[in-house]
Amino acid sequence: MCNKRNKSKIEVDGRKIKIDSCMVPLIRMLNHSNIEVYACCCGHGKYPKTIIGKFPKIAPTMELLSLKIISRKRKFYFKDKQGFYYIPEVVK
């Protein structure tokens, strides 16, 4: 877990993206395994760690750690009053 502002840039498909620093090793491993990751968040001690990706044999979009299917194609995360992001399907 890292603090809310501790981000790292990694390269994915030729693009540089910002992710939580503590998630970098896991996301690199998933990318090397050809799992398409759309978004991720470590939860910053407030919410569960989440990784949203494409899993064609199971569901078009799914949260990997909870195995919850996400029906949205974008805007996966919602922001709470303190500025932390979460996925409603996972927090319920």
At 24-82, the pLDDT tens digits run 999 889 888 888 888 899 998 899 999 999 877 777 899 999 999 998 888 999 999 99
Range list of H helices, 43-91: 88-91
Beta-carbon neighbour count of residue 46 at 10 Å? 13
Question: What's the pTM?
Answer: 0.82
For 24, the enclosing helix (H) or strand (E) is helix 24-32
